[in-house]
A and B are shown apart, each in its own frame.
Chain A
């Protein structure tokens, strides 16, 4: 209650929605203490942008406020549930996540900011979801979660919490480079019968309205995202599927090599923004 009042006192300004309505000027501070960078210079390898903005900067003030206090952020119900999962023994090895990793708020600090990343032992680029499932099957000897399931997004959200406010910092070269290049090519491919690429909407037209939707840069520093539209946490690759489907295209499956590549590339376009997950969007 006190915190909400503070947020209101700071004052979120509704941007006039006449014609051009770029990112607004509001600043994101969560629980009155975690300052999150929502605007930064674009990384040098992003040719089409000079500035990068979090999707938070394009949402209505009401939606923005909901993310500014964990008591108001509906994603925290899932975070609480995942905390119980983290501490609970499951699977044939008789272990919980905590058996090896201890306190998630300590051991997972900074982890969310660097994913997807190269796993040397496996010789592959891993998303956070892939790593969670790897620990489930290899270390817990338990069943993997479905890639975009509620349990998966809840665990991703929990692991993201201790990284909030840290700058996204995924590697783009070295062993991940060819995967990154693949993701970049996908980002500029005009898929489907509407022939629209991610860049057509999120690079060329962010700030514009497409019907009722205020286009952001499609950044993923906020994932998993609680959407008011479907009242649940949404996995990042679920969102990719939705955007590709909307171009009247055949999408890719969640967890596919193509989407891992796309996730790495899109994450890298947000290098320098603060981790916001679990965030709130409409």
Chain B
């Protein structure tokens, strides 16, 4: 009982705009599709981010992108190579790209990794059956921050 009240009080104190992690529906994008603030309020971990990019069950970014520094077999060619992407975009823009690249590139084939609504016939993961209950984003807020941390290290200059 006391615990519940305390948790509630803390959530209220944090306030909607600063709630951590920021829920997918509460994310605000700039005109260019960037997300200024960290979704978790803490810096991501680049090494964990690298794993998310290569993992089929997580980001599976290498299905579409080549990243020379990653040791992942069979990197795809559907999207551009991410080598040097840390020179091309700042971390706010990279966060926006990972969360929902459609704000940066309207209509892009790249999936939105931090979004939970607006889908047509969403499934229960890869089962082919209808999704049960509330959808989870493809990546958690923490995973998004880890991926962003890794992407910012991809510099060539």
Contact = CB atoms under 8 A, between A and B. Distances in A.
The A interface is mostly helix, strand or loop, or mixed, namely loop
Nearest to B102: A195
Nearest to B137: A193
B119 A192 contact: yes
Given A200-B109, A205-B109, A251-B128, A211 B123 contact: no
Size category, B interface: 20 to 34
Contacts of B76: 208-211
Interface in A157-212: 189-196, 200, 204-205, 208-212
Contacts of A101: none
A246 interface: yes
B77 interface: yes
Contacts of A205: 78, 109
A250 B60 contact: no
B14 interface: no
A249 interface: yes
B135 interface: yes
Contacts of B63: 210-211
B112 interface: yes
The B interface is mostly helix, strand or loop, or mixed, namely loop
A74 B123 CA distance: 34
A191 B121 contact: yes
Interface string B108-137: 010110000001111111111111000100
Residue among A215, A246, A250 with the most chain B CB within 10 A?
A: A250
Given A205-B78, A210-B64, A210-B78, A193 B122 contact: yes
A195 B117 CA distance: 11
B62 A195 contact: no
B3 interface: no
Contacts of B111: 193-196
Interface of A: 19-20, 189-196, 200, 204-205, 208-212, 215, 241, 244-251
